[in-house]
Structure 1
Amino acid sequence: MLKSKKALLLFIGIIIPMVSGLVAILKGHSNNKQQSLVLYGNVDIREVDLGFRVAGRLQEIYFDEGDYIKKGDLLGKLDSTPYQDKVKKAKAEADSAKIASISADKKFQRRQIAITTSAISEEDFENSMLNLKQLQANFQAAEANLASAKTDLSDCLLYSPSDGFILTRIREPGTIMSAGEPVYSLSLETPVWIRSYVDEPDLGKIYPGMQAEIITDSSGDKVYKGHIGFISPIAEFTPKTVESPQLRTDLVYRLRVIVDDPDNGIRQGMPVTIKLLQKTTN
Structure 2
Amino acid sequence: MAESLTLYGNVDIREVQLAFQDAGRISNLAVDEGAKVKKGQVVAELDPARFQMDAERLGGEVMAQTQLVERLKSGSRPQEIEKARAAVASAKANLKDADLILARKQSLLLTNRISTQEVDSARLRVQTWQATLKVSEEEQSLALEGPRKEDIAAAEANLTALQAAKELAQQRLTDTRLLAPADGFIRNRILEPGAMASAGAPVLTLALTDPLWVRAYISEPDLGRVREGMPAELHTDSLPGKTYKGWVGFISSTAEFTPKTVETTELRTKLVYRARIFACDPQQELRLGMPVTATIDTTKGTTGDSARCD
Same-fold call, TM cutoff 0.5: yes
Which residue of the partner structure matches residue 221 of structure 2? 201
Q: Does the 8 Å contact 2:41/2:179 carry over to 1?
A: yes
Q: What's the TM-score once normalised by structure 1's chain length?
A: 0.78
Q: 2:55 aligns with which of 84, 87, 90?
A: 87
| Change in CA separation of 1:224 and 1:126 when aligned onto 2, cut-off 3 Å | same
Rounded to whole Å, the distance in 1 between the matches of 2:203 and 2:67 is 43
Which residue of the partner structure matches residue 75 of structure 1? 43
Rounded to whole Å, the distance in 1 between the matches of 2:166 and 2:186 is 35
Which residue of the partner structure matches residue 286 of structure 2? 266
Is 1:148 the equivalent of 2:116?
A: no
Q: Which has the higher strand share?
A: 1
Rounded to whole Å, the distance in 2 between the matches of 1:264 and 1:104 is 64
1:130-170 Cα distance to aligned partner (Å, 9 max, x none): 11111110001011111111000011112222222111111
RMSD: 2.7
Rounded to whole Å, the distance in 2 between the matches of 1:38 and 1:109 is 88
Task: Give the C-alpha shift of residue 108 in structure 1.
Answer: 8.3
Alignment of 1:89-128 (within 5 A): 89-107=57-75, 128=148
What percent identity do the matched residue pairs reach?
Answer: 42
Where structure 1 has 5 or more consecutive residues not aligned to the other structure, the ranges are: 1-32, 111-117
The residue type paired with residue 106 of structure 1 is: S
Rounded to whole Å, the distance in 2 between the matches of 1:217 and 1:41 is 12
* Structure 1 residue ranges, 4+ long, deviating more than 4 angstroms after superposition: 118-122, 124-127
Which residue of the partner structure matches residue 3 of structure 1? none
Q: What's the TM-score once normalised by structure 2's chain length?
A: 0.71
Rounded to whole Å, the distance in 1 between the matches of 2:260 and 2:33 is 29
Which residue of the partner structure matches residue 128 of structure 2? none
Is 1:54 the equivalent of 2:74?
A: no
Aligned length: 242
The residue type paired with residue 12 of structure 2 is: D
1:223-271 Cα distance to aligned partner (Å, 9 max, x none): 2111000011111222222212222221211110000235443111122
Which residue of the partner structure matches residue 3 of structure 2? 35
**More displaced stretch, 134-143 vs 263-272:** 263-272
Task: Give the C-alpha shift of residue 51 in structure 1.
Answer: 2.0
| Change in CA separation of 1:203 and 1:265 when aligned onto 2, cut-off 3 Å | same
The residue type paired with residue 209 of structure 2 is: E
For residue 53 of structure 2, give the secondary structure of its aligned residue in structure 1.
helix
| Change in CA separation of 1:142 and 1:280 when aligned onto 2, cut-off 3 Å | closer
Rounded to whole Å, the distance in 2 between the matches of 1:108 and 1:167 is 66
The residue type paired with residue 89 of structure 1 is: R
Which residue of the partner structure matches residue 308 of structure 2? none
Rounded to whole Å, the distance in 2 between the matches of 1:278 and 1:245 is 18
For residue 59 of structure 2, give the secondary structure of its aligned residue in structure 1.
helix
Rounded to whole Å, the distance in 1 between the matches of 2:77 and 2:157 is 18
- Structure number with greater Rg is 2
1:170-210 Cα distance to aligned partner (Å, 9 max, x none): 11000111112222111222111111111111111001111
Which residue of the partner structure matches residue 13 of structure 2? 45
Rounded to whole Å, the distance in 2 between the matches of 1:275 and 1:108 is 84
